[in-house]
A and B are shown apart, each in its own frame.
Chain A
């Protein structure tokens, strides 16, 4: 891979357009950029929530994301990857996570972005706690996310 890898965990919001531009500016070899933004919903299983609190394992979170970015780079011809995950209190409508993948062709960019998101969901050490009128509660892991990640396993 000839492009930059950026991994950030931060409290502050991010600017999707700026992050895409940072990957592509001044380059003529990139033909495809895919970006995925995860956004905080205002309801979870039809119950209204007022905010999410994101906790993470500092050190391991960055290393775990890096391991999966490295695997994505080994599996697809990528020319740049950016992963940003926010922590702290996030209210409905705000950004939570960003994955940007750049490649010469769209297929690699689409697949690598989906692979990275599936693994972020199931193996990056982050935990969400919901705040609502009823109080607070930890979000439970979803078996659909485990199945989504499992389809990338190589035999």
Chain B
């Protein structure tokens, strides 16, 4: 699946997007955050406060317990500050 990062999540990880293949045991957004956090210090820093992180699956906001099965594109970002 494709993963995208925005704002300071993107800056901390050091890339805007990538393709990942998490193991089958990773089933939800919060489990994906935990799995990504274990990849390197940069990911751990980006996700150090997982409750602050917002997520979207296929362009729609989702909660941390949302299932990731079948997702084409998952995005992680801080709370939004547009308008």
B23: interface (CB < 8 Å): no
A10 CB → nearest B CB, Å = 14
Instruction: Tally inter-chain residue pairs, CB-CB below 8 A.
Output: 73
Collect the chain B residues with CB atoms within 8 Å of residue A124's CB.
80, 82-83
Which one of B56, B61, B81 contacts A127 once the chains associate, using CB atoms below 8 Å?
B81
Residue of B nearest to A120 (CB): B83
Residue in A63, A117, A124, A127 whose Cβ sees the most chain B Cβ within 10 Å: A127
Count of B interface residues, CB-CB < 8 Å: 16
Q: Say which size band chain A's interface belongs to.
A: 20 to 34
> 19 additional contacts, CB 8 Å, given A63-B59, A123-B80, A140-B79?
A38-B83, A54-B82, A55-B6, A60-B56, A60-B60, A64-B59, A97-B82, A121-B82, A122-B80, A124-B82, A124-B83, A125-B6, A125-B75, A126-B81, A126-B83, A127-B81, A138-B7, A138-B81, A141-B80
